[in-house]
Amino acid sequence: MRPFRVRLSIIMMVLIGVSVIVAGYTMGRVFKTTHTTALEQTMVREINLLKATFPFHDASDPTSPETRQYYSARALELDRLTDSRVTFINRDGTVIGDSESDPANMDNHLEREEIKGAIGDGYGQAIRYSETLGQDMLYVALPVNSDQSDMVEVPGGKFDGYIRLSMSLAAVDQGLQRGWVITFTALGLLFLIVALVSYRVARSLTSPIEHIIKVAHRITKLEYDARVDVTRRDEIGQLGLAINGMADSLQTQLKTIRDNEALLQSVLANMTGGIVMVDAGQSIALVNREAERMLGIQAARVTGRPYVELKKHYELTRSIEESVALQERMHEEVSVFNPEERLIRIDGVPMTEDDGSYRGMLFLLQDVTAIRRLESMRSEFVANVSHELKTPVAAVKGFAETLLSGGVQDKETERSFLKIIYDEGDRLNRLIGDILELSKIESKRAPLQCSPVHVHSFFEMVLGTLSTVAEKKQIRMQMVVPEELYIEADEDKMKQIFINLLSNGINYTPEGGRVKLQVTVEREDDEEQVVFAVSDTGIGIPKNDLPRIFERFYRVDKGRSRNSGGTGLGLSIVKHLVELHHGKLSVESELGLGTTFRVILPLIQDEEV
């Protein structure tokens, strides 16, 4: 496609060219007509001069050889004088003399156009192609009658007919051709001048327009920083300023839109709740990152597709279906499996425009699995605490009432009752202490006070503390600990961990059994870790109970645990203290063979601890 400036230049040149050609053609026609008319008038004057001065011969017998010879000779003389062909024609059209042809061979000229025009007192003229000379000729004829009073009397006879002069128009055509040459030469020069001028004019007009068009195309391609270089103050300059103003406005609005979109996307991506939007056509319009995680889906695969694509979550799909059908607010809790079971709270609200038109439903998904589990654990904890506190209190109250009523007269029985009251009080005290300790740990009110701990000396002290209990049950205590090993830890909390684990090993191991403590150093991910393994040869733990033994008040054998003096909080305290040290706690057990608790602590605590 040609540039606009080229098209404009071509149009201007064509218009000017057509104008020049039309003007040249008109001028040529005028030139030829004027020149022919002037030549015609000259020939008329020459014929009139001949009428007045020519010595006419008697031409009453036009076919006479003498007459033809005379007039032909005179015609030849006049031809040399006037540079024109001279023809004498009788009134009946017979040619009696001609300067170029034999009159005897010439046909009758009465029907010639110039002769017809000369009948009367006027003169006749005609332009036609001469077969004899092979060129266009101008013929002018005037009537001549030597008997008329205004004619000069010529002795020797009279002439009644026509004198015709003819002249070639070659000179006129040559002049016209020269005029055409000059015209076309001028036209060519004018074309060049016009081409240069029109191109410059078109360029001055179209260059800024083309620049504006390019800038507009860039803006349509979202290049909103494109601007028009305004150098003019005319309408084109005003157009450029308007384009720049529009681009500034679009850039500002787009930045605002992009900032809002980025903020919205950031909010959606970082929400702790899932968002699922179903449009009026019942297709999924939006799914955020948390909803992808909860439901195990990918937004790119489900967006734009019907919400029934979530059919693997039956309860969720059913709730969405009911809400979409009613177009009303809804609040429900449903179960989804991805792959484990999750409890999801779903809140749906209809979306409407300002005019009240329905746009779809927006669903907020909240994973309340942990919350419901904590609520259940809290209820269970309160129930367990109530039960654990109620048992020793009931025992103390019952035995105390018996003693107060005077129903015991035997000193031994009285002493036995008092011993039970003392033991239950002591158990109640331990239970309250463990509850307070666990509460402090969970509320982060018991920060670590780390210092280097010599592991070998530390466990000698711990085993020494438990040696009396172990000796009563004839349980062998073994310790395999490196002599020069130090660990950075809170010694008091570390003591709580291992007294609980070793006490459990002693309590749940039959008489004559063994409890072993083994310490090794391992490297994982370029960090040194200390592995503590407490193993026993006790009764073991069923596999079904292993996942729950670190829960508060959970007992595998409730009767035996209570008889052993345990509160049910020991392993829960151990778990929290190990995590406080950034460690890991695990357990392995087989019924009848024994149990091994493995504690992994970092050799050096992080500085932030």
347-385 residue pLDDT tens: 888 888 888 788 888 888 888 877 777 666 666 666 666
Q: Is residue 55 part of a domain?
A: yes
Which residues does 591 contact at the CB level (< 8 Å), separation at least 6? 539, 540, 541, 542
Interval 211-239: pLDDT, tens: 777 878 877 877 777 777 777 777 777 87
Going from the C-alpha of 256 to that of each of 91, 243, 278, 367, the distances in angstroms are 107, 20, 26, 33
Query: Mean pLDDT, to the nearest integer, of 563-570?
Result: 56
Residues 63 and 149 in one domain: yes
Which one of 389, 417, 442 terminates a domain?
442
The token pair that represents 158 in the structure block: 């009279």
Q: Is residue 80 part of a domain?
A: yes
Which amino acid, one-letter code, is at 247? A
Question: Tokens 């105390």, residue?
Answer: 400
Residue 531, pLDDT score: 92
Is residue 325 within a helix (H) or strand (E), and if so which, with residue range?
helix 314-326
Query: Mean pLDDT, to the nearest integer, of 123-144?
Result: 80
Query: In 3D, which of 88, 76, 89, 84 has the Cα closest to residue 39?
Result: 84
For residues 320 and 297, give the distance between their C-alpha atoms in angstroms, rounded to a whole number. Answer: 16
Interval 106-122: pLDDT, tens: 888 888 888 888 886 67
3-state DSSP call for residue 276? strand
* Strand 476-480 to 514-524 pairing: parallel
Q: How many domains are contained in the chain? A: 4
Is residue 4 scored above 60 in pLDDT?
no
Residues 477 and 571 in one domain: yes
Which one of 175, 202, 222 terminates a domain?
175
Interval 529-548: pLDDT, tens: 899 999 998 888 888 777 77
Is residue 471 scored above 80 in pLDDT?
yes
Q: Is residue 427 part of a domain?
A: yes
Residues 358 and 455 in one domain: no
* Strand 85-90 to 330-337 pairing: unpaired
Residue 332, pLDDT score: 86
Is residue 555 scored above 70 in pLDDT?
no
Query: Each residue of 299-329: b (16+ CB within 10 Å) or e?
Result: eeebeeeebeebeebeebbebbeebbeeeee
Is residue 2 scored above 70 in pLDDT?
no
Residues 544 and 584 in one domain: yes
SS3 content of the chain, % helix, strand, coil (to 5): 50, 20, 25
Own/partner long-range contacts of 58-61 (Cβ < 8 Å, ≥24 apart)? 58/156, 58/157, 58/158, 58/159, 59/88, 59/90, 59/96, 59/157, 59/158, 59/159, 59/160, 59/161, 60/157, 60/158
For residues 422 and 413, give the distance between their C-alpha atoms in angstroms, rounded to a whole number. Answer: 14
Q: Which domain holds residue 417?
A: 376-442
The torsion angle over the Cα atoms of residues 222, 224, 226 and 229, rounded to 10 degrees, is: 140
Question: Tokens 């062998």, residue?
Answer: 476
Which residues does 525 contact at the CB level (< 8 Å), separation at least 6? none
Residue 153, pLDDT score: 45
DSSP string for 71-127 = HHHHHHHHHHHHTSEEEEEETTS-EEEESSS-GGGS---TTSHHHHHHSSSS-EEEE
User: For 81, phi and psi rounded to 5 degrees?
Assistant: -80, -40
Handedness of CA 575, 578, 583, 586 (dihedral sign): negative
For residues 114 and 535, give the distance between their C-alpha atoms in angstroms, rounded to a whole number. Answer: 150
Handedness of CA 189, 190, 192, 193 (dihedral sign): positive
CB atoms within 10 A of CB 510: 12
Residues 13 and 91 in one domain: yes
Interval 282-306: pLDDT, tens: 888 888 888 888 888 888 788 888 8
The torsion angle over the Cα atoms of residues 313, 317, 318 and 319, rounded to 10 degrees, is: 110
Residues 351 and 400 in one domain: no
For residues 425 and 319, give the distance between their C-alpha atoms in angstroms, rounded to a whole number. Answer: 54
Which one of 395, 410, 442 terminates a domain?
442
3-state DSSP call for residue 56? coil
Residues 356 and 481 in one domain: no
The count of residues in the chain is 609
3-state DSSP call for residue 419? helix
Residue 533, pLDDT score: 92
The token pair that represents 427 in the structure block: 């158990």
Query: In 3D, which of 572, 582, 570, 587 has the Cα closest to residue 490?
Result: 582
CB atoms within 10 A of CB 46: 20
Beta carbons of 292 and 313 less than 8 angstroms apart: no
Which CATH number is 433's domain given?
A: 1.10.287.130
Query: In 3D, which of 221, 178, 156, 145 has the Cα closest to residue 32?
Result: 178
Interval 502-530: pLDDT, tens: 888 888 888 888 999 999 988 877 788 89
Handedness of CA 151, 154, 160, 165 (dihedral sign): negative
Q: Which of 13-17, 49-53, 493-497, 503-507 has the lowest mean pLDDT?
A: 13-17
Residues 455 and 438 in one domain: no
Query: In 3D, which of 484, 516, 504 has the Cα closest to residue 573?
Result: 504
| Residue 502 Ramachandran class (φ > 0 left, ψ -120 to 50 alpha, else beta) | alpha
Residues 101 and 132 in one domain: yes
3-state DSSP call for residue 330? strand
Q: Is residue 500 part of a domain?
A: yes
Residues 363 and 387 in one domain: no
Residues 436 and 515 in one domain: no
Which CATH number is 520's domain given?
A: 3.30.565.10
Residue 532, pLDDT score: 92
Beta carbons of 303 and 285 less than 8 angstroms apart: yes
Interval 388-441: pLDDT, tens: 666 667 667 776 777 777 766 777 777 777 777 776 776 677 666 666 665 665
Most confident of 4-13, 103-112, 308-317: 103-112
Work out the widest C-alpha separation in the chain, in whole angstroms.
Answer: 211
Question: Tokens 């948390």, residue?
Answer: 290
Is residue 162 scored above 60 in pLDDT?
yes
For residues 143 and 481, give the distance between their C-alpha atoms in angstroms, rounded to a whole number. Answer: 161
Which CATH number is 317's domain given?
A: 3.30.450.20
Residues 397 and 317 in one domain: no
Q: Is residue 431 part of a domain?
A: yes
Q: Is residue 219 part of a domain?
A: no
Residue 504, pLDDT score: 85
Is residue 559 scored above 50 in pLDDT?
no
Which residues does 63 contact at the CB level (< 8 Å), separation at least 6? 94
For residues 410 and 416, give the distance between their C-alpha atoms in angstroms, rounded to a whole number. Answer: 10
Query: Mean pLDDT, to the nearest integer, of 32-49?
Result: 81
What is the percent of the chain with per-residue pLDDT over 90, rounded to a whole number?
1
124 falls in which pLDDT band (50, 70, 90)? Answer: confident
What is the percent of the chain with per-residue pLDDT over 70, rounded to a whole number?
81
Beta carbons of 284 and 302 less than 8 angstroms apart: yes
For residues 262 and 269, give the distance between their C-alpha atoms in angstroms, rounded to a whole number. Answer: 10
Q: Is residue 117 part of a domain?
A: yes
Interval 429-460: pLDDT, tens: 766 666 666 566 555 656 767 889 898 999 89
Q: Is residue 504 part of a domain?
A: yes
